Amino acid sequence: MAQFFQSVGDVLSTLGSSFCVPVMLFIIALFMGCKGQKAFRAALLCAAGLTGFSLVINSYSGIIAPVVQSMVDSTGVKLSCLDVGWQAFSVIAYGTQVGLIWIGICIILQIVLFLCKFTDVFMASDLWNNYSFMIWGSLVYFHTKSFAFALICMLVQLLYILLFSEAFAKRFSTFYNYPQCCMTAPHHLEGLPFAVIMNWILGKIGFDKIKINATTLQKKLGIFGEPMFIGLVVGALIGFLGNINDLTTVAGWGSIITAAVSTAAIMAVFPRVAGIFAGAFTIITDAYKSKAAEKGKDRDWYLSVNDAVAYGEPNTLAAGILSIPIILILSFVLPGNIILPMADLVALPYMSEVFCATSNGNIAKTVAMNVIWFSLGMIIVSQFCPAMTQIAIEQGVNLADYNAAGVSIVSFGVLCHPFIVGLFAAFWFQNYIAIAIIIVVYVVLYVLFKKNRYTFVDWMENQAAKYQL
């Protein structure tokens, strides 16, 4: 059995989300009644979209990362924990013992919870993003040497994320225009309570009156308000800050222009790639509606989709990119922070999705929530960087040069999230009282939500509607 899970882990970590998600989607499409040809087309569109996302992001990272590094070098900032990106940590997660065990458990558990109607979210369709749970579970096992503690930690996190996903499903589906689809990426959804509270607070202090979004900017400013032009300006700003000491050289200005045009390209290309990806889920939702109508089923359920589907939405993309220089500069001065966000800075649009959808595309609100939440995340996670680095070493990652320089590693995009860190910390410190409180709070929230589901969902929709695009 251990060898089987090892083989599964090797396949998943090697082939990545471009393999896992389409395969699951193909199976689901067949189950929904799609013929083989349509099911294959849905899987192919999904694979093409995910691969397109990866190609664009990787190309952009290769251009913008050196500029960010130059910005850091020119300021002389010394932060000892380097963000190496979510890709590196996903591979590490699928290689740990805890991760391998969780693969088998989570697939069965997520399907059973859905079939017995404990949840109306079918999470197994986004199998890939379970790596987020695996990282936290592996950290608990590293510190406590207890598989039981690690597994219970991941289970508790999973239950909270399923609850948040169900509460957020309609808002996600409506805002991003993916009928009957939702998101279950743990490293994004954990911020839902903060998003709901801050959206209300920021609305009360006048943020709903700030009409800064992709639609209004384009109407008022014409071409200067288009996402592509916004990307050009923000990219130029990042390039300028990164080449502040090279403004008298041709190479410096070449770097600035490259950063500007590349950021503009991201803003223009991503929505088109998202359109390809969306085609896969259109096929499945159409099949679901037909099957439900034929059998008279009226269950209101949601299919989990990969968080990449929302990256290219203009307001989400703009808010994420606008947050890059702000969060980077703040990392230099935050008290207690040792994390230097680097590789995952281009993942900020992913990290903005819950905030942007909750605020109905309010860029000002989204940027404010990004800055507050992820700054707090960096301060908290700074305490656990050495342990994360040790786990990477145990999985065969060569960090000799980092260790020699006293540098540890982290994934800013996956780990710097306060709520899920709080759940993890109770198990890390083996605080039974805190664990009991976390479980009791979950049970209370679950019962309250199930009794008042439509009231809460309608309230969220009404709060979002206060800000009209």
Task: Report the pLDDT value the prediction gives residue 449, as an integer from 0 to 100.
Answer: 96
**Main-chain dihedrals φ then ψ at residue 409, nearest 5 degrees:** -125, 160
- Contact between 79 and 330 under an 8 Å Cβ cutoff? The reply is no
User: In this predicted model, which residue has the larger pLDDT, 3 or 255?
Assistant: 255
User: In this predicted model, which residue has the larger pLDDT, 58 or 173?
Assistant: 173
Characterize 190-209 residue by residue with b for buried, 16 or more Cβ atoms within 10 angstroms of its Cβ, and e for exposed.
bbbebbbebbeebbeeebbe
Question: Highest mean pLDDT range out of 186-200, 241-255, 283-297?
Answer: 186-200
In this prediction, residues 85-95 reach a mean pLDDT of 73
142 has a pLDDT exceeding 70: yes
In this prediction, residues 194-219 reach a mean pLDDT of 84
Give DSSP secondary structure letters for 43-67. Answer: HHHHHHHHHHHHHHHHHHHHHHHHH
User: In this predicted model, which residue has the larger pLDDT, 466 or 269?
Assistant: 466
In this prediction, residues 391-419 reach a mean pLDDT of 72
User: In this predicted model, which residue has the larger pLDDT, 58 or 349?
Assistant: 349
385 has a pLDDT exceeding 70: yes
Give DSSP secondary structure letters for 272-283. Answer: HHHHHHHHHHHH
Task: Report the pLDDT value the prediction gives residue 317, as an integer from 0 to 100.
Answer: 85
In this prediction, residues 231-253 reach a mean pLDDT of 81
For residue 307, the enclosing domain spans 2-465
Q: Which of 215, 208, 217 is nearest to 359 (CA)?
A: 208
CA 179 – CA 301 distance, rounded (Å): 11
Distance of CA 178 to the CA centre of its chain: 17
User: In this predicted model, which residue has the larger pLDDT, 291 or 462?
Assistant: 462
In this prediction, residues 277-300 reach a mean pLDDT of 62
Task: Report the pLDDT value the prediction gives residue 16, as an integer from 0 to 100.
Answer: 59
In this prediction, residues 71-75 reach a mean pLDDT of 67
User: In this predicted model, which residue has the larger pLDDT, 222 or 127?
Assistant: 127
4 has a pLDDT exceeding 50: yes
pLDDT band at 374 (very low <50, low <70, confident <90, very high): very high
pLDDT band at 43 (very low <50, low <70, confident <90, very high): confident
Mean pLDDT across the chain, nearest whole number? Answer: 81
CA angle, residues 49, 53, 58, in degrees to nearest 5: 150
pLDDT band at 51 (very low <50, low <70, confident <90, very high): confident
Task: Report the pLDDT value the prediction gives residue 296, as an integer from 0 to 100.
Answer: 43
In this prediction, residues 236-248 reach a mean pLDDT of 80
Q: In the β-sheet with 81-83, what is the strand arrangement from edge to edge? A: 339-340, 81-83, 408-410
Task: Report the pLDDT value the prediction gives residue 227, as an integer from 0 to 100.
Answer: 64
In this prediction, residues 99-125 reach a mean pLDDT of 86
Task: Report the pLDDT value the prediction gives residue 454, as an integer from 0 to 100.
Answer: 92
- Contact between 283 and 41 under an 8 Å Cβ cutoff? The reply is yes
Domain count along the chain: 1
445 has a pLDDT exceeding 80: yes
- The answer for residues whose C-beta is within 8 angstroms of residue 311's C-beta and 6 or more apart is 53, 270, 274, 317, 349, 350, 353
User: In this predicted model, which residue has the larger pLDDT, 372 or 46?
Assistant: 372
